[in-house]
Amino acid sequence: MPVPCRAGCGKNAMLKRPKTGDALCKECFFWAFETEIHFTITKGKLFKKGDSVAVAASGGKDSTVLAHVLKTLNERYNYGLNLMLLSIDEGITGYRDDSLETVKQNRDDYEMSLKILSYKELYGWTMDEIVAQIGRKNNCTFCGVFRRQALDRGAAMLNVKCIATGHNADDIAETVLMNVLRGDIARLKRCTAISTGSEGTIPRVKPLKYTYEKEIVMYAHYKRLVYFSTECVFAPNAYRGHARALLKDMEKIRPTCIMDIIYSGETMEVKEAVSLPSQRVCIRCNFVSSQEVCKACVLLEGLNKGLPKLGIGKSSKAKRMLEEYNAKQNKSLEEAINNINEEYEKNNCISKGKVCRSSCKSKQTAQINKTHKTTSETCCNGQSDEKLNTDNDITNSKVKVLLKEYGLSEATQDDSSNLISEKIDHSNTEKVANATNDDDFEVDSHNTDEQIVDEDDTCGGACGKIDSLHISF
């Protein structure tokens, strides 16, 4: 027997709203869905008239629905927003390349401009290359950290007032659960914020904060929106997955638990003593960071040095790795010096306290990293000391370069300008090393293998699958 629409429009209901249990017709569901998002936006004061807003677009259901609803509300309520799409291409073959095609379709459908930024152009690495280097255990840490910064960079390029992300109520409830289960009180304090970002950074807003994932899928389904639903090929079986499964189980018994968990997170009192790291600017890339060197730069340093685990897990581990790396570099310095010594020995001999380039048989090992004794006499090959001293200086300067490169001697003024760049690079390495001090780094003290990624870095890629929907009743 047909059930009348609960909104009283006179039509028959077609669906049961997962959030409220109301039986509604399609049109009344659309209206209720969009109006709730409008209330979220106005109550949270997410936008100001005339703002330029970048919608973080992955091609997935959340960002597609977000772009569609923002466009609809912008016209219906005259927000006066300049909406544009911002996509990050992580370089994941078989996933992001396909989903970007969907974003391009969104661009055409919603008549918004689209900016795509790739990890390859920003960092020199695609996720495919990173996974080939590091394996599939910590890939989402790299991906999440790089994405966060890539969005900031893209938003700065587009000169927008804020970035709107597609985080939905389920995502936020999961994050609350995860932070409770991990005892991460500092993150718990801020993970329910509808708008995040400190002074000097481009804020991120979450207009879908109170929107259920199931309703997002229903909306996209009934509106026939084009979105990409394949899961990322690198999606891990991470801790978030367990929180997700727990939430879905609880939702089956009590659908309001999603809102209840968010409400609990919002109203939970956290001691004043629990503080978040203050925001500053990374000395390397100039983007926002809680450390002197940002996490993206530390991870990139690790990749470029062949130390992919640098910045993963405990910072003391990272520090040890850098020390081991430096020790290895010193070992290769020793080998390099020995090689130069051998080469030098082949071509030179020391005669009467002077350096001689003849092939005489009375060779002694040349101690090239010590000052050679020379006189004004000619050597056995008849060459003058001046010439020999020049050769010696050249060789010594090679050694100096190596010594300085590995931080084993002080730079002198005679060094060529390329030494300066070496020195700068080295000082940065030290700063990275310093940034990995226990006190300086945000680490997960309960979980050494899995670096906690900020709640804003969570990925739609791992969230592609949801339970079967109860679209009808």
Is the Cβ of residue 102 or residue 289 nearer to Zn ion in the bound state?
A: 289
Tokens of 189: 């304090």
List CB contacts of 464: < 8 A, sequence separation 6 or more: 60, 229, 230, 231, 232, 235
Nearest approach in angstroms of CB 293 to Zn ion is: 6
Residue 455 interacts with ligand SF4 (CB under 6 A): yes or no: no
Residue 144 interacts with ligand SF4 (CB under 6 A): yes or no: yes
Nearest approach in angstroms of CB 1 to ligand SF4 is: 45
Is the Cβ of residue 282 or residue 443 nearer to Zn ion in the bound state?
A: 282
- Single out the segment in contact with ligand SF4 by CB under 6 A; choices: 76-84, 227-235, 293-301, 371-379: 227-235
- Could you say which DSSP state residue 4 is in? B
Is the Cβ of residue 119 or residue 210 nearer to ligand SF4 in the bound state?
A: 119
- Single out the segment in contact with Zn ion by CB under 5 A; choices: 42-50, 133-141, 171-179, 287-295: 287-295
Residue 462 interacts with ligand SF4 (CB under 6 A): yes or no: yes
Euclidean distance between CA atoms 238 and 457, whole angstroms: 14
Q: How many CB atoms neighbour CB 326 within 10 A?
A: 15
Give yes or no for a contact between 204 and 171, defined as CB atoms under 8 angstroms apart: no
Helix axes 61-76, 96-110, angle to 10 degrees: 10
The binder of ligand SF4 chosen from 232, 258, 282, 294 (CB under 6 A): 232
The binder of ligand SF4 chosen from 15, 216, 235, 432 (CB under 6 A): 235
Helix ranges restricted to H, 84-168:
96-110, 119-123, 127-134, 139-158
CA separation, residue 37 to residues 162, 197, 210 (Å): 17, 21, 8
Nearest approach in angstroms of CB 238 to ligand SF4 is: 8
Is the Cβ of residue 44 or residue 236 nearer to ligand SF4 in the bound state?
A: 236
Give yes or no for a contact between 83 and 70, defined as CB atoms under 8 angstroms apart: yes
Give yes or no for a contact between 153 and 282, defined as CB atoms under 8 angstroms apart: no
Q: With DSSP H G I counted as helix, E B as strand and the rest as coil, what are the percentages for the chain, rounded to 5?
A: 50, 10, 45
Helix ranges restricted to H, 159-226:
169-182, 185-190, 213-222
- Single out the segment in contact with ligand SF4 by CB under 6 A; choices: 60-68, 192-200, 261-269, 459-467: 459-467
Tokens of 279: 């925001």
Which residue's structure tokens are 């006179």? 10
Give how far the C-alpha of residue 438 lies from the chain's centroid of Cα atoms, to the nearest Å. 20
Is the Cβ of residue 217 or residue 294 nearer to Zn ion in the bound state?
A: 294
The binder of Zn ion chosen from 284, 319, 404, 431 (CB under 5 A): 284
Q: Which does 122 bind (CB under 5 to 8 A by kind): ligand SF4, Zn ion, none?
A: none
Residue 459 interacts with ligand SF4 (CB under 6 A): yes or no: yes
Nearest approach in angstroms of CB 435 to Zn ion is: 10
- The interface with ligand SF4 within residues 310-369 (CB under 6 A) comprises none
Is the Cβ of residue 136 or residue 373 nearer to ligand SF4 in the bound state?
A: 136
Residues making up the chain, counted from first to last: 473
Residue 282 interacts with Zn ion (CB under 5 A): yes or no: yes
- The interface with ligand SF4 within residues 116-135 (CB under 6 A) comprises 127
CA separation, residue 421 to residues 240, 294, 346, 416, 424 (Å): 42, 21, 33, 10, 5
Residue 294 interacts with Zn ion (CB under 5 A): yes or no: yes
Residue 102 interacts with ligand SF4 (CB under 6 A): yes or no: no
Euclidean distance between CA atoms 404 and 412, whole angstroms: 9
Nearest approach in angstroms of CB 288 to Zn ion is: 9
- Single out the segment in contact with ligand SF4 by CB under 6 A; choices: 39-47, 306-314, 374-382, 458-466: 458-466
Residue 171 interacts with ligand SF4 (CB under 6 A): yes or no: no
Q: Which does 285 bind (CB under 5 to 8 A by kind): Zn ion, ligand SF4, none?
A: Zn ion
Residue 57 interacts with ligand SF4 (CB under 6 A): yes or no: no
Euclidean distance between CA atoms 283 and 292, whole angstroms: 6
Residue 285 interacts with Zn ion (CB under 5 A): yes or no: yes
Tokens of 304: 């470029």
Taking residues 76 to 95 in sequence order and writing x for each that binds ligand SF4 by CB under 6 A, - otherwise, the string is --------------x-----
Tokens of 354: 């002077």
Give yes or no for a contact between 464 and 229, defined as CB atoms under 8 angstroms apart: yes
Q: For Zn ion, which residue has the nearest CB? A: 282
Please provide the distance, in angstroms rounded to a whole number, between the alpha carbons at the two ends of the chain.
11
Euclidean distance between CA atoms 437 and 445, whole angstroms: 14
Is the Cβ of residue 280 or residue 363 nearer to Zn ion in the bound state?
A: 280
Residue 139 interacts with ligand SF4 (CB under 6 A): yes or no: yes
Question: Where on the chain is the footprint of Zn ion (CB under 5 A)?
Answer: 282, 284-285, 294, 297
Question: Where on the chain is the footprint of ligand SF4 (CB under 6 A)?
Answer: 90, 127, 139-140, 143-144, 232, 234-235, 459, 461-462
